[in-house]
Chain A
């Protein structure tokens, strides 16, 4: 009875709204279903991919970028740049027509100038910068690639020219500046907040130069951006960009089906078939530079023992994981680097599934009785691991066969990363999606000693030999020479097994088919500035 009545009411209401609903949607904007709350609104202070997707290209611009097709540098805020002969100084010439966002909380009085660039980079490494210690002075990306150790100083030459002076020439410097993390912030806004003693707000209420500007943010619900009418690059078609924060992957798909979302981040592979059946939804698939791995806390016994790590690696059937977790939408890892990277070398001695051998290794290591350990599974679905929980359960049952009882641990995403950063785990299922095509991006931010100190090294692995290889590779610009070093690095990872590379995921994105001009990039976050609805 009740349903009947309701049904009648609905058909009545539906009749009149369907048409006008469409027009409103068309002009109003775009809804993007994001999978997690942003950690911050400043890309400098985080490396979390879900956050970068939401904030980086939408709110900010960088000095230069990398063309996704040709992999060449492209001018952005800088019209052109010059690298000195020694490679130790790089001069950028800036555009003169770039305006910062006008919002309810700040109205800029001047356009972007060299001061802003100097301020943005000084914050990262200059302890005298008033904002350096705002937050917890952690700039994980820059610290993990050692950029804070590399830049001697950033000098304003004139209002529209900036010179970066480096301690030594480094081949990946420009590509690091082209990442989503190296954004340009407003110095005027920073000074304004400092004057009213509200420096804490700087990273939560963003002022940038990007295609959208911040309107409001309701934790666990939504983030709303409005269009930046004065965007320098091109007119922005959408009036609004709304991020619907939906942590549950199934809900994201469902919202896609009910048209509550226009774009869905990382639809899980299990449900791709449902989306593929629909004509009004487009599923884009692109190779992506990433790696999903199982890292051991190598500082914590018994995982400091190579034999134990080896035993664990040999006890798990990764083929089964590929089938059950990736549903064939991933590439099983043959090295730490994905095959599409130029420094890739397939490893011959990847650990193969062999429980008997694993048991033998355990006995050798003195653990005949087995032991119990924690297995941390990240709670969100990422490219490199669409369902860590399920993967953890598979691993758990495999480990049981060699007498190891694993306890699966889950936390909310940001808490999870925080605790991993404090090395509370025994082992963790995590991954890395590259920000630049440079191979170094897979090593320094993840497995170097500096990454250990900044809490970004999930294996807690600091090996001076390995670090030396990385430094050597960075010190030379000769590609062949670099290749040699990176091949050695890859071999070393498989020999030492601080982590077991599992798979490289494909990047998927479900988009309503009337949305145009969104491109998937093989690295870095998504850019929605040009998105429009037909």
Chain B
């Protein structure tokens, strides 16, 4: 059963990746500018060069062959050159993606840390003041434009109180060699250079972007957990348990929580896709050297190969994260394997 489920998911994944590559491939034609430079990132190549590139990318062949050549190239890691910097796109993405991922992971961890307990507390104190406070706070957090929140926090914590730096991942005078490109990991791998100060500094730089980024998913998780808990608490088996004389604490800890958290697990995974998008805005404001800021810069500069590569990488990641979320959900909840179609 699990095997069959996996097979079904895998075929869906393949289908999604296929659609995605078709889409990115067609972007080459949709973007303004010349097809050849959109694909390769070569600006004004000489005649020989362009002949060679046309050969290489099979641009003289039919559209289907072109697509195959495109996929082959993507798989090989040849994502063309950036129009504005002349650097290979793939290399840049590999360098920048960990920074974005790092930010998202911490923000997600924070959201889980505050969101789920928040939601549980709200459901436990249903219709009493703690729920009302949490609800109002989450509604506020849900409604605040993230860029405005970021600016407010910068005004208060960086410029007003001087507690946090406002840009980058680490003080620029600390020289940390990129090994994994995850800054904290790199610092640990290099056994805490600068007497551990680099590590502390990196944490400082992380604080505000993480809070800003975590705001939205936290509120979503609070609301979701609360609703899910309330749903479960309405169910008959809970009523039975209550009739048997269990107190509220026992009821929640032993009976309700597990079932209520099942859908939440899936929700956590789905938040990744929202996070990646919000990370783009966060990165721009906090000058975080991640793939989001790079992608937005590329759009300003109409750097088509870079836009294409960035989109492909980000969407691919979102799809994978969603798949993983669903898969882990299935591991915990065998019932959900029966669904015939992909449902979200």
A and B touch in the complex (CB under 8 A): yes
- Report which A residues bind B (CB closer than 8 A): 1-3, 6, 10, 13-14, 16-17, 20-21, 24-25, 28-29, 31, 218-222, 224, 240, 242, 244, 246, 251, 254-255, 257-260, 411-412, 414-415
In the complex, residue of chain B having the shortest beta-carbon distance to the beta carbon of A224: B175
Closest chain B residue, CB of each to CB of A221: B289
Chain A nearest CB from B97 CB (Å) reads 14
> Which residues in A have their C-beta under 8 angstroms from that of B200?
13, 16-17
* Any A CB within 8 A of the CB of B287: yes
A28 touches B173 (CB 8 A): yes
Say yes or no: B287 contacts A25, CB within 8 Å: no
Docked CA distance A14–B114 (Å): 24
CB-defined contacts of A14 to chain B, threshold 8 Å? 163
Per the 8 Å Cβ criterion, residues 278-292 of B in contact with A are: 287, 289
Assess the B173–A254 pair: CB atoms within 8 A.
no
Do the beta carbons of A2 and B167 come within 8 Å of each other?
Answer: no
CA distance A297 to B173 in the complex (A): 45
CB distance from A526 to the nearest CB of B (A): 18
User: Which of A2, A220, A254 touches B166 (beta carbons < 8 Å)?
Assistant: A254
Does the CB pair B172–A222 fall under 8 Å? yes
Q: Name the residue on B nearest A16 (C-beta).
A: B200
User: Which residue in chain B gives the minimum CB-CB distance to A223?
Assistant: B172
Please name the residue on chain B nearest to A11 by beta carbon: B163
Q: Which residue of A lies closest to B114 (CB)?
A: A2
- Which 10 interchain pairs have the tightest Cβ spacing? A28-B173, A242-B172, A412-B301, A221-B289, A258-B158, A17-B200, A219-B85, A31-B172, A260-B165, A29-B173
Nearest-CB distance from A219 to chain B (Å)? 5
Query: Does chain A have a CB within 8 A of B77?
Result: no
B136 within 8 A of A: no
CA distance A260 to B289 in the complex (A): 16
Can you list 25 A-B pairs, Cβ within 8 angstroms, ordered by A? A13-B203, A17-B201, A20-B195, A21-B201, A24-B174, A28-B173, A28-B174, A218-B289, A220-B289, A221-B168, A240-B173, A240-B175, A242-B173, A244-B167, A244-B172, A246-B167, A246-B287, A251-B167, A257-B158, A259-B162, A260-B165, A260-B166, A260-B168, A260-B171, A412-B300
Asked if residues A31 and B167 are in contact (CB atoms below 8 Å), the reply is no
B residues bordering A, Cβ < 8 Å? 84-85, 87, 110, 114, 154, 158-159, 162-168, 171-175, 194-195, 197, 200-201, 203-204, 207, 211, 287, 289, 293-294, 297, 300-301
Output the residue of A13, A260, A414, A415 with the most chain B CB within 10 A.
Answer: A260
The reply to whether A219 and B171 contact each other, CB–CB distance below 8 Å, is: no
**Once the chains bind, are A414 and B84 in contact (CB under 8 Å)?**
yes
A19 to chain B, nearest CB (A): 11
Contact B300 A254 (CB under 8 A): no
Let me know if B85 and A260 touch, CB within 8 A.
Answer: no
Report the minimal beta-carbon distance from B168 to chain A, rounded to whole angstroms: 8
State in angstroms the CA–CA spacing of A396 and B64 once bound together: 48
In the complex the two chains form, is A21's CB within 8 Å of B197's CB? yes
Looking at the assembled complex, report how far the CB atom of B31 sits from the nearest CB atom of chain A, in whole angstroms: 16
User: A20 contacts which chain B residues (CB < 8 A)?
Assistant: 195, 197
User: How many angstroms from the CA of A185 to the CA of B267 in the assembled complex?
Assistant: 59
Contact partners of A17 in chain B: CB under 8 A: 197, 200-201
Contacting pair B294 A220 (CB below 8 A) = yes
Are A24 and B194 in contact, CB atoms less than 8 angstroms apart? yes
CB A267 to nearest CB in B, in angstroms, measures 15
Given A17-B200, A24-B174, A254-B154, 14 further pairs, Cβ under 8 A: A10-B163, A10-B164, A17-B201, A20-B195, A24-B173, A24-B197, A25-B173, A29-B173, A218-B289, A219-B87, A254-B166, A258-B162, A260-B166, A412-B300
Given A24-B173, A220-B297: A415 in contact with B163 (beta carbons within 8 A) = no
Q: Look across to chain A and name the residue whose beta carbon is closest to the beta carbon of B208.
A: A6
Q: Once the chains bind, are B172 and A258 in contact (CB under 8 Å)?
A: no
Contact call B159/A254, Cβ cutoff below 8 A: yes
**Residues in A whose Cβ lies below 8 Å from that of B110:** 2
Q: How far is the CA of A220 from the CA of B294 in the complex (A)?
A: 8
State which of A3, A21, A415 has its C-beta within 8 Å of the C-beta of B84: A415
B22 to chain A, nearest CB (A): 30
> Which residue, of A3, A411, A412, has the highest number of chain B Cβ atoms within 10 A?
A412
Given contacts A20-B197, A221-B289, contact A31 B173 (CB under 8 A): yes
Using CB atoms, name the residue of chain A closest to B205. Answer: A260
Verify B114–A258 contact, CB threshold 8 A. no
Q: A459 CA to B166 CA in the complex, in Å?
A: 41
**Interfacial chain A residues near B194, Cβ < 8 Å:** 24
| Chain B residues, Cβ within 8 Å of A255 | 166-167
> Which chain A residue lies CB-closest to B163?
A10
Neighbouring A residues of B197 by C-beta, 8 Å: 17, 20-21, 24
Chain B minimum-CB-distance residue to A242: B172
A490 to chain B, nearest CB (A): 37
* Given A20-B195, A21-B197, A254-B166, A411 contacting B173 (CB threshold 8 A): no
Distance in angstroms from B201 CB to nearest chain A CB is 8
Q: B residues within 8 A CB of A224?
A: 172, 175
Chain B positions within 8 Å of A254 at CB level: 154, 158-159, 166
Neighbouring A residues of B164 by C-beta, 8 Å: 10
A14 to B161, CA, bound (A): 12
Closest to A260 in B: B165
> In the complex, what residues of A have CB within 8 A of residue B207's CB?
6, 10
Closest-by-CB residue of B relative to A257 is B159
**Minimum distance in angstroms from A11 CB to a CB of chain B:** 8
- Is there contact, CB below 8 Å, between B84 and A412? yes
Is there contact, CB below 8 Å, between B173 and A260? no
Q: Closest CB of chain A to B208's CB: distance in Å?
A: 9
Q: How far is the CB of A489 from chain B (nearest CB, A)?
A: 35
Which of B172, B194, B300, B301 has the most chain A CB atoms closer than 10 A to its own CB? B172
Which B residues are in CB contact (< 8 Å) with A13? 200, 203-204
